[in-house]
Each structure stands twice: as structure tokens, then as C-alpha cells.
Amino acid sequence: MSDFLNTFFFNVYPYLAAIFFIGSWIRYDQAQYSWRAGSSQMLSSAKDKRYMFIASNLFHLGILGVFAGHAFGMLTPHWMYEAWLPVPVEYLARKYQLVRSRR
């Protein structure tokens, strides 16, 4: 499985990404005004507008929560969060190395 993922992400995916990027560039160059925001059609009726308003706000609150959690995790000093960890990080690193060496 590891060989397949390695082959896919480093040998196949860059070519797929290049094809999509170049294709998008050509389409934008040939027909600029054919690009539309189809997602705005979801906001057409009054009933859907209320639900989309609620969903949009919840989505953005979730994104802000994820951002705040990552910022807190990256900006917290080691001495502060070592007390919260149930297992020392060195133990987990050694355990991971043992698992990798057995494969």
C-alpha cells in the first residue's frame, strides 16, 4: 500500500495537477465569461436562504474553531502542555520507530 501511495503522489498526481491547471488556464484564456459561481443558485429561494445563512455561519464558526485550536497548539510552550500529555513524547517517538522498523 505504501508503494502504491508513493507512486501515485509522486509520479501520477503531479501530472494530473498540471493537466487541470493548464486546462483551467486555457479555458480562462479562451472564454473568460463562461466561469460562473454555480453555488449562488442555492441561495435563490427564501426558505433555502435561511438555511444557507445558518449553515454558512456554522461553517465559518467551525473554521474559526479549527484555526484557533491549531494556533493554540502551535503557540503553547512545551513546559505548559507537557503536564497535559498522558505519555511522554519521547516514548511515543520510540514506539513509532519500533513499529516502522518491523515493517
> Considering the entire predicted model, what is its pTM?
0.42
Q: Would you state the pLDDT for residue 51?
A: 78
Q: Would you state the pLDDT for residue 86?
A: 66
11-38 per-position pLDDT tens digit: 999 999 999 999 999 998 998 877 776 6
To the question of whether residue 78 is assigned a binding role by annotation, the answer is no
Tens digits of pLDDT across the chain (103 residues): 788 988 999 999 999 999 999 999 999 899 887 777 665 555 566 666 777 888 889 999 999 999 999 998 888 887 777 777 666 667 777 777 766 666 5
To the question of whether residue 60 is assigned a binding role by annotation, the answer is yes
Please provide the DSSP assignment of 24-61 as one string.
HHHHHHH-GGG---GGGGGG-SHHHHHHHHHHHHHHHH
Q: Would you state the pLDDT for residue 78?
A: 78
Q: Where are the domains of the chain?
A: 1-35
Q: Would you state the pLDDT for residue 28?
A: 87
In angstroms, what CA-CA distances link 22 with 10, 32, 38, 52?
A: 19, 15, 22, 33
